[in-house]
């Protein structure tokens, strides 16, 4: 089959980038002309805009990296990436199952097949439907270091196969599928991914009060600009908000309307919609193991004092390391 520049192509070293990964600078410098061209293609810039006279395969890695960063930074400035609008469907799907690590994983239907994914990517011409990032496109990323609690140095990433994203992170909804790069997909699913990660931390006693409060502040800011506040939070965020409500009920039966106390903007939703989100979130919390079967009581504290959560985290890290061969 004939491929185009937009489809997934092998790099000069014969690799296919199926997953998004950091670019190995010393290895990539051995094929500098390919990666410089890839950076220009990704950002839709021309060779005449840069001094490329010193570019050659096997060039010094530091000079190669500096030039790549300059190209990508200028591309970012030109593109002026606009934030993704949070999705609007209510998080009422329960098509999930619990992972071995205690997280929640989507239970996709058989219709969500490789053929369907390929057709969605082809419809977007193998570029991200939001920012235009192509397969094997390169971009800058500043990863967050959970151990140091701050951002690491800027690194160059290579986009693998474009993700096919479900509208609102509802795995049983095949309407509105879109091809997205890793960066846009993570941005779109912030409420779902981040909320779910904090709930998994809670299972291990490694979620501190401060980290939970920081997420609540961010969630309220997100919902303030969303047409559908609970839709913007998606399943993972709605689950965490529901857990916060259950934690504060103090033995009094909690009601769906209590969500408004945690997320004030949720007041725009009809009572029936609040109840639908509430019931679905309870079911997902039971799947996660946070709520006892058939009940509305948390099985463990949602968050702990910061020093205790940090001690639990370090103990868990040491236990994981001890199990490694």
Residue 1: the pLDDT is 29
Give the total number of structural domains in the chain.
Answer: 3
Q: Does residue 262 fall inside a structural domain?
A: yes
Helix (H) or strand (E) holding 121: helix 114-123
CA distance 155 to 139: 8
CA distance 203 to 226: 29
Residue 152: the pLDDT is 63
Q: Do 136 and 3 meet the contact criterion of CB atoms below 8 Å apart?
A: no
How many CB atoms sit inside 10 A of residue 26's CB?
A: 11
CA distance 41 to 22: 18
Residue 267: the pLDDT is 94
DSSP for 25-89, please give it.
HHHHHTTHHHHHHHHHHHHT--GGGS--TT--TT--HHHHHHHHHHHHHHHHHHH-PPPPPPP-S
Same domain, 249 and 222: yes
Residue 272: the pLDDT is 93
Q: Does residue 13 fall inside a structural domain?
A: no
Domain that holds residue 144: 96-188
Same domain, 221 and 156: no
Same domain, 202 and 274: yes
Cα distances from 14 to residues 10, 57, 157, in angstroms, run 5, 16, 18
Q: Do 34 and 11 meet the contact criterion of CB atoms below 8 Å apart?
A: yes
Cα distances from 17 to residues 7, 10, 22, 49, 154, in angstroms, run 11, 8, 10, 28, 20
Q: Does residue 5 fall inside a structural domain?
A: no
Same domain, 170 and 256: no
Same domain, 110 and 173: yes
Question: Residue length, the chain?
Answer: 325
Q: Does residue 196 fall inside a structural domain?
A: yes
Same domain, 103 and 61: no
Same domain, 105 and 138: yes
Q: Does residue 270 fall inside a structural domain?
A: yes
Same domain, 115 and 60: no
Tell me the β-bridge partners of 291: 298
Same domain, 176 and 219: no
Residue 2: the pLDDT is 36
Residues of 232-243 as b/e, b for ≥16 C-beta within 10 angstroms? bbbbbbbbbbbb
Same domain, 156 and 220: no
User: Could you give the angle at the alpha carbon of 101 between the alpha carbons of 203 and 150, nearest 5°?
Assistant: 70
CA distance 32 to 61: 9
Averaged over successive runs of 10 residues, the pLDDT of the chain (325 residues) comes to: 48 67 89 91 88 93 93 81 69 92 88 92 88 85 63 77 86 87 86 92 94 94 89 93 86 75 94 94 94 89 94 88 77
Helix (H) or strand (E) holding 141: strand 138-141
- Cα dihedral 298, 303, 307, 313 in deg (nearest 10): 80
Same domain, 169 and 114: yes
3-state helix, strand, coil in the chain (%, to 5): 50, 10, 40
CA distance 39 to 106: 34
Q: Does residue 88 fall inside a structural domain?
A: no
pTM, full prediction: 0.80
Residue 321 contacts by C-beta under 8 Å, 6 or more apart in sequence?
none
Of the candidates 136, 170, 188, which is a domain's last residue? 188
Q: Does residue 314 fall inside a structural domain?
A: no
Same domain, 136 and 29: no
Q: Does residue 10 fall inside a structural domain?
A: no
């Amino acid at each position: 089959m004939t491929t185009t520049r937009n489809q997934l192509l092998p790099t000069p070293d014969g690799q296919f980038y199926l997953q998004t990964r950091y670019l190995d600078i010393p290895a990539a410098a051995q094929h500098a002309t390919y990666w410089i061209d890839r950076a220009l293609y990704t950002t839709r810039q021309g060779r005449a805009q840069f001094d490329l006279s010193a570019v050659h395969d096997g060039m010094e890695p530091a000079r190669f990296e500096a030039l790549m960063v300059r190209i990508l930074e200028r591309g970012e400035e030109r593109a002026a990436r606009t934030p993704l609008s949070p999705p609007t469907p209510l998080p009422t799907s329960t098509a999930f199952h619990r992972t071995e690590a205690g997280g929640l994983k989507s239970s996709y239907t058989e219709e969500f097949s490789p053929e369907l994914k390929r057709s969605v990517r082809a419809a977007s011409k193998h570029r991200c439907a939001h920012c235009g990032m192509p397969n094997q496109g390169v971009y800058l990323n500043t990863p967050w270091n959970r151990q140091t609690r701050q951002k690491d140095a800027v690194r160059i990433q290579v986009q693998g196969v474009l993700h096919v994203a479900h509208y609102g992170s509802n795995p049983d909804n095949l309407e509105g599928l879109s091809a997205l790069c890793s960066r846009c997909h993570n941005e779109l699913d912030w409420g779902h991914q981040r909320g779910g990660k904090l709930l998994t931390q809670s299972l291990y006693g490694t979620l501190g009060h401060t980290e939970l409060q920081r997420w609540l502040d961010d969630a309220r800011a997100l919902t303030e600009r969303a047409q559908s506040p609970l839709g913007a939070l998606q399943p993972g965020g709605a689950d965490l908000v529901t857990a916060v409500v259950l934690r504060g009920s103090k033995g009094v039966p909690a009601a769906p309307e209590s969500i408004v106390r945690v997320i004030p903007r949720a007041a725009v939703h009809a009572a029936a919609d609040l109840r639908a989100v509430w019931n679905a979130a309870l079911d997902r919390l039971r799947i996660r193991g946070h709520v006892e079967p058939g009940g509305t009581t948390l099985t463990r504290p949602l968050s702990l004092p910061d020093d205790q959560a940090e001690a639990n985290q370090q103990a868990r890290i040491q236990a994981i390391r001890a199990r490694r061969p």
